[in-house]
Amino acid sequence: MLIRRTRGWEIAESKATPEAVMLGRRAMLGGAALAAAAVAGPAQAQLSELFGPSRPPNAMRALSPLSAARNAKYEAGRAITEERQATTYNNYYEFGLSKSVYGAAQALVVEPWTIEIGGMVAKPRKIGFDDLMKQMALEERVYRHRCVETWAMTVPWVGFPLAKLVELCAPTASAKYVTFTTLADKKTMPGLGQRFYPWPYLEGLTLQEATNELAFMVVGMYGKTLPSQNGAPLRVALPWKYGFKSAKSIVKIEFTDKRPTSFWEALQDEEYGFWANVNPKVPHPRWSQATETLLGSDERVPTQIWNGYGEFVAGMYSDKSGEKLFM
């Protein structure tokens, strides 16, 4: 995973009106894109490949209000990140390697959206996103998010417990893991031209983790539907794990009895493992995980084990001491 120091929130164009803002040419083809192209190795895409044959649409996709009562049980213990920062500094490699992919991500087609449910389930099937929404009661949860690259944020997500979705999928008794496959659309996602990445993006959890009360299926943030760059129309939020476990723009949910190999694990298993639980005491092979920078601040604050969610999740790992739980 590259650490790029491009700061999306410093782009003035995005400051005034987050939803309706028209991105200037500087934001689209400015430093971030050129820097991403400049780090290109042999397998990497040309600038044209990164950004597709034509320029991505400039207008930010309109979002709809999506309010839900806040679940007060989950206290983030720190201030909510400014919306502008959480929605302009992203990791969404399908749209490019920089943090400023929010412009390119507007090309994501979110309607209609279908989710395939398969593998070890009573009945494999497809479900439309709208149909799924009708079956789920929404709530708001303010969660901490910690990227393995040491930046962090605090976000009011809107969604429903992942356990509810698992229940709806009805896995068979032999299923032990759930995998999330995310959209890989060459027409709209220039990052797929980076052929050394093992697309599509895939992530997995044990069923115990997926049904833990903290595991959250996200369909909105800041009281609105999810912006494309944050993983519209649905993504997961797993606040005790490094951010890469929280797959975006999910198109397939499968149940299996074999531990899946996730995207980052397939790429570099010595650096990004299956469990990826947050622990300040276990450094990444190339950097310390002891502290983090909150988006919008230059100050570094201490990182907490399990990202501060030990009371909910530590018990799940008491019998797994032989595993690399923190990478």
Ligand X SMILES: Nc1nc2c(c(=O)[nH]1)N[C@H]1C(S)=C(S)[C@@H](COP(=O)(O)O)O[C@H]1N2
Q: Taking contact as CB under 6 A, which single stretch among the options 63-71, 87-95, 297-305, 306-314 is the one that binds ligand X?
A: 87-95
CB of 313 vs ligand X, minimal distance in Å: 18
Count CA within 13 A, CB hemisphere, residue 21.
Answer: 20
Residue number, 120 or 145, with CB nearest to ligand X:
145
Smaller CB separation from ligand X, 95 or 160 = 95
Number of residues this chain uses to bind ligand X (CB under 6 A): 16
Q: Which does 37 bind (CB under 5 to 8 A by kind): ligand X, Mo ion, none?
A: none
Q: What is the dihedral of CA 226, 190, 271, 178, to 10 degrees?
A: 50
CB atoms closer than 10 angstroms to residue 78? 14
Q: Is residue 91 a contact residue for Mo ion (CB under 5 A)? A: yes
Chosen residue from 30, 156, 190, 243 binding Mo ion by CB under 5 A: 243
- Which entry of ligand X, Mo ion, none binds 141, CB below 5 to 8 A by partner kind? none
List the interface residues with ligand X, window 246-285 (CB under 6 A): 246-249
CB of 272 to ligand X, least distance (A): 9
Minimal distance, residue 86 CB to Mo ion, in Å: 13
Residue with tokens 């997500």: 157
Sign of CA dihedral 230, 231, 233, 234: negative
What is the signed CA dihedral for 129, 134, 137, 143, rounded to 10 degrees? 20
Burial tier of 116 (Cβ tally within 10 Å: 0-12, 13-18, 19+): middle
CA–CA dist 25, 109 (Å, integer): 22
Number of amino acids touching Mo ion (CB under 5 A): 4
The minimum distance between CB 79 and Mo ion, in angstroms, equals 21
Q: Which of residues 227-246 bind ligand X (CB under 6 A)?
A: 230-231, 243-244, 246
Q: Could you give the CA distance from residue 272 to residue 148 in angstroms, rounded to a whole number?
A: 9
State how far the Cα of 36 lies from the Cα of 103, in Å rounded to an integer: 15
Say whether residue 93 binds ligand X (CB under 6 A). Answer: yes
Closest C-alpha to 85, from 68, 100, 95, 96: 100
> 88 or 212, CB closer to ligand X?
88
Q: Indicate which of Mo ion, ligand X, none lies near residue 28 (CB less than 5 to 8 Å, by partner kind).
A: none
Residue nearest to ligand X (CB): 243
Tell me, rounded to whole angstroms, the distance of Cα 32 from its chain centroid.
20
> In terms of DSSP bridges, do strands 235-237 and 216-221 run parallel, antiparallel, or are they unpaired?
antiparallel
- Residue 308 region, left (φ>0) first, then alpha (ψ -120 to 50), else beta? left
Residue 182 binds which of ligand X, Mo ion, none (CB < 5-8 A, kind-dependent)? ligand X
Report the nearest approach of ligand X to the CB of residue 229 (Å). Answer: 6
CB 15 to ligand X: min, Å: 19
Q: Spell 173-191 as b/e; 16+ CB within 10 A means b.
A: eebebbbbbbbeeeebbbb
* 230 contact choice in Mo ion, ligand X, none (CB below 5 to 8 Å, kind-dependent): ligand X
What residues make contact with Mo ion under the rule CB under 5 A?
91, 147, 243-244
What residues make contact with ligand X under the rule CB under 6 A?
90-94, 147, 182, 201, 230-231, 243-244, 246-249
